[in-house]
Amino acid sequence: MNILALDLGKFNTTCCFFDTDTQEHSFWNAATTRSYLTSVFRNNDIDLVVTQGIPLVQRVRSGASRPHASRGSRTRLDAR
């Protein structure tokens, strides 16, 4: 199985390719652009993609919809 782990950054992404059969791995630094990352997916035989989650603060700052806090709980963003 070939696994691609991505650490997505605003401008750069680190790609870690891992082959579970041979236990070999390699790291690539890549530009965080749609065209480049599309080529990574198309040009490699990938069985599983792993990424990190996006913290709530980043989603709110990027304009994504904000989940409602339950009554009685206040997040740091609600306190502003």
Give the DSSP per-residue string, 51-62: EPPPPHHHHHHT
The percent of residues above 90 in pLDDT, for the chain, comes to: 44
23 falls in which pLDDT band (50, 70, 90)? very high
Q: What is the pLDDT of residue 63?
A: 57
The answer to the question of residue 58 being in a domain is: no
Say yes or no to pLDDT of 71 above 90: no
The answer to the question of residue 36 being in a domain is: yes
The answer to the question of residue 33 being in a domain is: yes
The enclosing H or E element of 47 equals none
Number of structural domains (the chain) is 1
Give the integer Cα–Cα distance in Å for 34 and 49. Answer: 16
At 30, which CATH number? 3.30.420.40
16 falls in which pLDDT band (50, 70, 90)? very high
Can you give the residue range of the structural domain that contains 45? 2-53
